[in-house]
Homo-oligomer: A and B are copies of this chain.
Amino acid sequence: MIKLGIIGGTGYTGVELLRLLTQHPEANVQVITSRTEAGKPVSELFPNLRGHLDLKFVEPTPDAYRDCDLVFFATPNTTAMSQAEALLAAGIRVIDLAADFRIKDVAVWEQWYGATHACPALLEDAVYGLPELNREAIRNARLVANPGCYPTSVILALLPLLKNDMIEPGSIIADCKSGTSGAGRKASVGTAFCEVTESVKAYGVDGHRHLPEIREILRGVDAAADLVFTPHLMPMIRGIHATVYADSRGPAERVQSVFEEFYRDEPFVDVMPAGSHPETRSVRGANLCRLAVHFLEAADKYVVLSVEDNLVKGAAGQAIQNMNLMFGLDETAGLQPPGMMP
C-alpha cells in the first residue's frame, strides 16, 4: 500500500483526489493538512466522503508527512516550491497540482506568476506530468509537475498534428471553455452562483497563465509553435471544451487515422469517429480526454474538439495516473470508472 499525503486539500482538486483515492486498490491517504481546517473531519467539509474516509485535517507541520511515500500539493501556486525540496530530501516523492514546476524557463515563470521562484534548481528535475508525452520520464521522476487543466486539453488535441508535421506551427488558436470549478473553491463574488449561471464570458484575453505553459510544451515538440489562447467561463461545474484551430500543411486525408494510431494504446485518450462532436458531460468524473478532429477543406484548416473533466484528467485523475506510473502500478488503477451521464 502506497502511503500518501495531501497538502492543502480543502479545494476542489483536494476533494476529487480523495474521492478517487477512496477507490484505489493500492494507495492510501495517511495525512491531509490544512492550516484553516486543522482538527475538522474531512467528511464534515466534504459530506460526500462521510463513511468513506476517517481522517481529520491536521496542521501542516514539517514532519506531518514523514511516513508518506508521496505527497500531493493541492495548494495555491507558490506553496509547493517552498516545501518540495525538504520532502524530496527526506525521500518523499512529490506531485504538484499547482503551477510551480510546470515551466522550465524561470524568467517566463516569474513574469507570469509575479513571484521569485523559490527553488529554480529543482526545475530541471521536475517532469511535466503528461503521460501521453512523458511516460518514461514520469516513471522515474521524483518530482512531477501536474499539467494545467487547459494545457492538458489543448496539448492532447495538438500532439498528433504537430508530431506529424501536419500544421503550420505558428497558426494555432485555442478557444477554450471551462466549467467554474476551474476557478477553485473560494469565497468570491465573481464565482457566485448568481454571477456565473445563465451567462458566458471570455476572460484573460490579453494573457492567461496557461498560455506560456502550453507554448513551452508545444515548442518542445516543434520549436516554431505558437498560439492564441482564449479562455471562457461556462455556467457548469465540470468540463473543459477546447476548440483548437490550425492551418493545414500537406495532405489531410489521413488525419482521422493519424489520430487513431497516435492514441491507439493510450488508456485515457479516446479518439471519436470522424464527424463527431464530443460533449463534456460524456467524461464527467472520468479520467479521459475525448477528441474529434475535423478538416475544413475550404479553409484548409483543422478543427480539433477536445473535452475533459478539468478536475479529473485536468487535475486529480491525471495526478493519480502519474502516481501509478511513478510507483510501477497499473497505470489505470483507481481510474477505470466511466463518466456519469446524465
Q: State in angstroms the CA–CA spacing of A221 and B239 once bound together.
A: 39
- Distance in Å from the Cβ of A114 to the closest Cβ of chain B? 18
CB of B22 within 8 A of CB of A338, answer yes
- Distance in Å from the Cβ of A181 to the closest Cβ of chain B? 5
CB of A206 within 8 A of CB of B341, answer no
If A296-B206, A341-B15 touch, whether A193 touches B277 (CB-CB below 8 Å) is: no
Contacts of A243 in B (CB 8 A): 175, 202, 230, 232
Q: State in angstroms the CA–CA spacing of A179 and B338 once bound together.
A: 22
If A187-B189, A205-B305 touch, whether A236 touches B200 (CB-CB below 8 Å) is: yes
CB of B48 within 8 A of CB of A294, answer no
Contacts of A290 in B (CB 8 A): 47, 50
Contacts of A52 in B (CB 8 A): 338
Contacts of A286 in B (CB 8 A): 48
Contacts of A51 in B (CB 8 A): 270, 338
CB of B177 within 8 A of CB of A177, answer yes
CB of A199 within 8 A of CB of B281, answer yes
CB-defined interface of A265-277 with B at 8 Å, one 1/0 digit per residue?
0000010100101
Q: State in angstroms the CA–CA spacing of A226 and B12 once bound together.
A: 43
How many copies of the chain does the oligomer comprise?
4
Query: Which residue of B is nearest A276, CB measured?
Result: B47
CB of B48 within 8 A of CB of A201, answer no
CB of A201 within 8 A of CB of B342, answer no
Interface centre among A19, A307, A340 (most CB of B within 10 A): A340
- Distance in Å from the Cβ of A287 to the closest Cβ of chain B? 12
Q: State in angstroms the CA–CA spacing of A283 and B43 once bound together.
A: 13
CB of A198 within 8 A of CB of B198, answer yes
Contacts of A106 in B (CB 8 A): none
**A198 touches which one: B15, B50, B192, B284 (CB < 8 A)?**
B284
Tell me which residues from 173 to 197 in chain A have a Cβ below 8 Å from any Cβ of chain B: 173, 175, 177, 179-181, 185-189, 191-197
Contacts of A237 in B (CB 8 A): 193-194, 197-198, 342
Q: State in angstroms the CA–CA spacing of A202 and B234 once bound together.
A: 14
Contacts of A193 in B (CB 8 A): 180, 191-193, 195-197, 235, 237
Q: State in angstroms the CA–CA spacing of A15 and B40 once bound together.
A: 37
CB-defined interface of A328-342 with B at 8 Å, one 1/0 digit per residue?
000000001111111
**A280 touches which one: B22, B46, B201 (CB < 8 A)?**
B201
Chain A residues with CB under 8 Å of chain B are: 12, 15, 19, 22-23, 46-52, 173, 175, 177, 179-181, 185-189, 191-203, 205-206, 226, 228, 230, 232, 234-239, 241, 243, 245, 270, 272, 275, 277-286, 290, 294, 296, 298-299, 301, 303, 305, 307, 336-342
